[in-house]
Amino acid sequence: MKYTQPDLPYANNALEPAISKQTVEFHYGKHEKAYIDNLNNLIEGTEFADLPLEEVIRDAKGALFNNASQAWNHIFYFFSFNPKPSCHEPTGELRRAIDRDFGSFEKFKEAFVEAGTGLFGSGWVWLSRDENGRLFLTQGKNAESPLTSGLVPLLTFDVWEHAYYLDYQNRRKDALERLWDIIDWPIVQGRY
């Protein structure tokens, strides 16, 4: 199976001012493309060659895991955004779960950004749920994913420097706080 990079459902400049056109072009157009290309080269002729990407992530090790997970993480990340979101907060079951597990939506946002700014080095911060619908915030170093822990990812923020440095330099917290403006909550709720 050859993995492909899906086209974004919006123009490269559509997420401005939260994420610039230049960042989207480098981040998705070059970094993500390199992960897909590396994945396809590494997986060829292995027992993973015909598996869905999620299964590769759960079972692979080393460079194959890193590239598979980074490819999946980036697609998941970029497909969580909408340049003109229909709402700026979750509703329904997800909102009730956030209120139950974090106290309020504002407390959840603060904890999410704190987890992202507190992660030393590169990686991801995740909102995930377990099989009982409980929500968890986790930090993933480098290419780590909640998929390897049996959790269902709902939302992620990329805290690798390439995700924000062109726009925010060393101001990771500012970059993370701007992402709330472009979250596509109906997509995130659908993952719950």
The per-residue pLDDT for range 57-94, each reduced to its tens digit, is: 999 999 999 999 999 999 999 999 999 999 999 999 99
- Averaged pLDDT, 150-177: 97
Helix (H/G/I), strand (E/B), else coil: 81: strand
Phi-psi region for residue 170, left (φ > 0), alpha (ψ -120 to 50) or beta? alpha
Specify whether 102 is located in the same domain as 63.
no
| Same domain, residue pair 62 and 96 | no
Q: Give the pLDDT band (50/70/90) at residue 158.
A: very high
In a shared domain, residues 66 and 96: no
User: What total of structural domains would you count in the chain?
Assistant: 2
Instruction: Give the range of the structural domain holding residue 57, as residue numbers without chain letter.
Output: 21-78
Q: What does the block give as tokens for 26?
A: 């480098």
Reply yes or no on whether the pLDDT at 177 is more than 80: yes
- For residue 84, give the DSSP letter: S
Residues 184 and 112 in one domain: yes
